[in-house]
Structure 1
Amino acid sequence: MQIFDIIAVLIFFSGLFIFLNTFYLKLPSSIGLSILALLLSLLVLVFGLIYPEYHLAEHVKAFDMEEILVRFVLSVMLFAGALNIDFSKLGNQLIPVLVLAFFGVMISTGVIGTLIYFTLDFLNIELDFIGCLVFGALISSTDPVAITKMIQRHRLSSELENKIAGEALLNGGIAIVLALVLVNLSREGAIAGGLSFGGSAWVVTKDLGGGLILGLLFGWIGYQALKFIDNDEAQVEVLITMALVMVGSFAAHYLSVSSMLVAVTSGLVIRNFDASSEEESAVGYYVFKFWKLMEESLAAMLFVLIGFEMLVIPLRLDYFAAGFFALNIVLFGRWISVFLPIKLMSSHHEFDKGTISVLSWGALRGGLPVAVSLSLSGFPGQEIIVTMTYVVVVCSVLYQGFTLGKVMRSYQSQQVQQN
Structure 2
Amino acid sequence: MASTSTLTLLEVSAIFLSITAVLSYINHRFIGLPTTIGVMVISILLSMIAIFLGFLGFDQLIDYEVSLLEQLDFTEVLLDGMLSMLLFAAALHVNIGDLKRYKLPIGILAGAGTVISAVLIAIALYYMLPLFGFGLPLIWCLLFGALISPTDPIAVMGILSSAGAPKSLETVIAGESLFNDGLGVVIFVLLLGILTSGDIPTANYVAHTLAIEAGGGIVFGLVLGAILYYMIKSIDSYQDEVLLTLAGVIGGYALASHWHLSGPLAMVMMGLMVGNRGRALAMSDKTRHYVDLFWELIDEILNAILFVLIGLEVVMIAYSGNLFIAAISTIIIALLARFIVVGMTTKTFNRQLDLPSGAWKVLTWGGLRGGISVALVLQLPTGPERDILLALTYAVVIFSILVQGLSVGRVARSISPKQPS
TM-score by length of 2: 0.84
2:151 corresponds to = 141
Contact 2:182 2:262 in 1 (8 A): yes
Relative distance call for 1:405 and 1:63 in structure 2 (3 A) is closer
Contact 1:137 1:175 in 2 (8 A): no
Which 10-residue stretch deviates more, 293-302 or 397-406? Answer: 397-406
What are the equivalent positions in structure 2 for 1:128-167 lying under 5 Å apart? 128-139=137-148, 140-142=150-152, 143-152=155-164, 160-164=166-170, 166-167=171-172
Counterpart of 2:313 (choices 298, 309, 316) is 309
Contact 2:229 2:278 in 1 (8 A): no
Counterpart of 1:6 (choices 12, 18, 22) is 12
Contact 1:211 1:257 in 2 (8 A): yes
1:226 corresponds to = 232
1:88 corresponds to = 97
Which amino acid is 1:346 matched to?
N
Q: 1:161 deviation in Å? A: 2.4
Q: Partners of 1:30 and 1:299 in 2: how far apart?
A: 6
Relative distance call for 1:218 and 1:90 in structure 2 (3 A) is closer
Relative distance call for 1:146 and 1:371 in structure 2 (3 A) is same
2:66 corresponds to = 57
- Per-residue Cα deviation, 1:158-203 (whole angstroms, up to 9, x for no partner): xx32322x23333333332223212321343355430331333333
1:331 corresponds to = 335
Q: 1:297 deviation in Å? A: 1.6
- Residue 255 in 1 paired to residue 253 in 2? no
Which amino acid is 2:194 matched to?
G
Q: 1:325 deviation in Å? A: 1.2
Contact 1:45 1:55 in 2 (8 A): no
2:215 corresponds to = 209
1:353 corresponds to = 357
Q: Partners of 2:242 and 2:279 in 1: how far apart?
A: 20
Which 10-residue stretch deviates more, 194-203 or 374-383? Answer: 374-383
Q: 1:120 deviation in Å? A: 2.8
SS in 1 for 2:352: coil
What are the equivalent positions in structure 2 for 1:359-378 lying under 5 Å apart? 359-376=363-380
**Structure 1: gaps of 5 or more residues:** none
Contact 2:139 2:195 in 1 (8 A): no
Q: 1:391 deviation in Å? A: 0.8
- Per-residue Cα deviation, 1:100-127 (whole angstroms, up to 9, x for no partner): 4444333333322332233234444354
Q: 1:335 deviation in Å? A: 1.4
Contact 2:104 2:353 in 1 (8 A): no
1:199 corresponds to = 205
Counterpart of 1:23 (choices 29, 50, 53) is 29
1:180 corresponds to = 185
Report the identity percentage.
Answer: 30
Q: Partners of 2:137 and 2:270 in 1: how far apart?
A: 34
Q: Partners of 1:278 and 1:265 in 2: how far apart?
A: 17
SS in 1 for 2:391: helix
TM-score by length of 1: 0.84
Relative distance call for 1:113 and 1:316 in structure 2 (3 A) is same
Contact 1:185 1:204 in 2 (8 A): no
Q: Partners of 2:259 and 2:302 in 1: how far apart?
A: 26
2:3 corresponds to = none
Relative distance call for 1:67 and 1:274 in structure 2 (3 A) is closer
Relative distance call for 1:336 and 1:283 in structure 2 (3 A) is farther
Q: Partners of 1:253 and 1:380 in 2: how far apart?
A: 30
- Per-residue Cα deviation, 1:122-143 (whole angstroms, up to 9, x for no partner): 4443544444334334333142
**Structure 2: gaps of 5 or more residues:** 1-5
Which amino acid is 2:180 matched to?
A
Q: 1:282 deviation in Å? A: 12
Which amino acid is 1:67 matched to?
E
